[in-house]
Homo-oligomer: A and B are copies of this chain.
């Protein structure tokens, strides 16, 4: 695994296949104004939150049903043209980019919550439903969907990237919370991968194979999810620490004791400073943990007392509490605004986000060494982390006019990933591989495992039309 040394090393390989006019014409006839070739529409569907730039897809089709998705895939398959599913475009790793050309299938109009089974704690949705929309629609039921990756991502996209976020420490990731899928395969067939039963040993786990496959094995057209009763009591707190190490050691001990904490997020002093400047929150400009406790009133009290005791052993300050929804929102604003606050701190900057995740016992080693390296580099950054899961993100804030900064940032990320892998961790806890981590994946799992992935891809998508060029090179 070699770190890039020149800005040119950082561009994804682009091999645009021909998209014959006859295919575009056929899509226009079939979908009329729902098939767009307008440049502005194509460009909007040809980029995401990653820092890559490649030519946009040749057309965008707004699908309204699984049957329509299947039709588009069958047509594209006829001409061996790539198809790329599109939800809201919040991917961070170039998943949406048409590196081999092709057609973008926009599923944002497939945005209905199809059924809520409150008694079974399941819900079935179309892929364009966003997580905030889902929670809005669940509001009256006393239930909620906990997975919160920050962005108001689509459930289809969250499934495809195996997303997680702040609540994963308690509720798991999309891996644990997707019960079943409807998927359009590379041949344009519609299949179902599971039932609403909570557990099953019925053959290969196609659900989990599709979750995290980044659109390379099929287009997800329906998702059945686990949902949860809103906790009787919710309490949030922030606590400042004399050092990142003290905050991390506190987290490690909380997890090792088995405290069922719902959220435990780290923000470093530097990032608190950015957030204060952005939102005038007046927080202590020290490393900070934001925590949330879910449960019965006594359970929440018990958890909080335990954590407070551990924090104080590590020099943490008294908790600042938030028990009403309004106060909680104020506290969580700090976390949710970190990205925007950081971007604003260096106007016009582009962000590259890291995503390593290590076993919790290795978290301090992994994080502290990388903080030292990043500080020494002079690259401005923010640092936030789902530290209860051993997952954290540096966001390097890069001046797009200074390509050498990008090289330095990629070198930092490269060294961080190498360190995480040495510590038995992964290069990506929740963002996915996309275009950006293909080499890291080989280093992480070994060539044999990636070969197995490639063999599966080749078998299920022999024409290589499902979002090609992502996760691994064929």
What residues of chain B lie closer than 8 Å to A411, measured between beta carbons? none
A194–B175 Cα distance when bound, in Å, is 14
Closest-by-CB residue of B relative to A118 is: B256
What residues of chain B lie closer than 8 Å to A430, measured between beta carbons? 199, 201
A127-167 contacts to B, CB under 8 A, are 161-164
What residues of chain B lie closer than 8 Å to A421, measured between beta carbons? 195
Residues on A facing B (Cβ under 8 Å): 117-122, 161-164, 168, 172-173, 175-176, 185, 189-206, 208-209, 211-213, 217, 228-229, 231, 252, 255-258, 296, 298-299, 302, 355, 357-362, 389-391, 421, 424-433, 437, 440-441, 444-446, 448-450, 452-453, 455-456, 458-460, 471-472
A-B contact pairs, 14 of them (CB 8 A): A122-B359, A162-B201, A175-B208, A191-B449, A195-B421, A198-B391, A199-B391, A201-B426, A201-B431, A202-B444, A208-B209, A298-B299, A455-B460, A459-B459
A360–B196 Cα distance when bound, in Å, is 10
A455–B120 Cα distance when bound, in Å, is 33
Decide: B445 and A193 in contact? CB cutoff 8 A.
Answer: yes
Cβ of A187 to closest chain B Cβ, rounded Å? 10
Decide: B256 and A191 in contact? CB cutoff 8 A.
Answer: no
Q: A203-B453, A203-B472 are in contact. List 7 more A-B contacts (CB 8 A).
A: A119-B360, A120-B360, A162-B199, A172-B176, A175-B208, A206-B453, A455-B460
What residues of chain B lie closer than 8 Å to A390, measured between beta carbons? 197-198
What residues of chain B lie closer than 8 Å to A252, measured between beta carbons? 119
Cβ of A94 to closest chain B Cβ, rounded Å? 14
Decide: B205 and A175 in contact? CB cutoff 8 A.
Answer: yes
Decide: A432 and B198 in contact? CB cutoff 8 A.
Answer: no
Cβ of A402 to closest chain B Cβ, rounded Å? 30
Nearest first, the 9 A-B pairs at minimum CB distance are: A459-B459, A208-B208, A119-B361, A191-B448, A200-B426, A229-B258, A120-B359, A196-B424, A197-B426
Contact of A199 among B193, B217, B429 (CB under 8 A): B429
A432–B204 Cα distance when bound, in Å, is 10
Decide: B361 and A445 in contact? CB cutoff 8 A.
Answer: no
Decide: A161 and B201 in contact? CB cutoff 8 A.
Answer: yes
Decide: B120 and A168 in contact? CB cutoff 8 A.
Answer: no
Of listed A441, A449, A455, residue having the most chain B CB within 10 A: A449
* Contact A206-B120, Cβ < 8 Å, known A228-B258, A456-B460: no
Decide: B162 and A175 in contact? CB cutoff 8 A.
Answer: no
What residues of chain B lie closer than 8 Å to A121, measured between beta carbons? 255-256
Decide: A449 and B258 in contact? CB cutoff 8 A.
Answer: no
Decide: A201 and B424 in contact? CB cutoff 8 A.
Answer: no
Decide: A120 and B361 in contact? CB cutoff 8 A.
Answer: yes
Of listed A168, A197, A427, A440, residue having the most chain B CB within 10 A: A197
Cβ of A460 to closest chain B Cβ, rounded Å? 6
A471–B319 Cα distance when bound, in Å, is 54
A358–B197 Cα distance when bound, in Å, is 5
Decide: B185 and A452 in contact? CB cutoff 8 A.
Answer: yes
Decide: B202 and A428 in contact? CB cutoff 8 A.
Answer: yes
A198–B162 Cα distance when bound, in Å, is 13
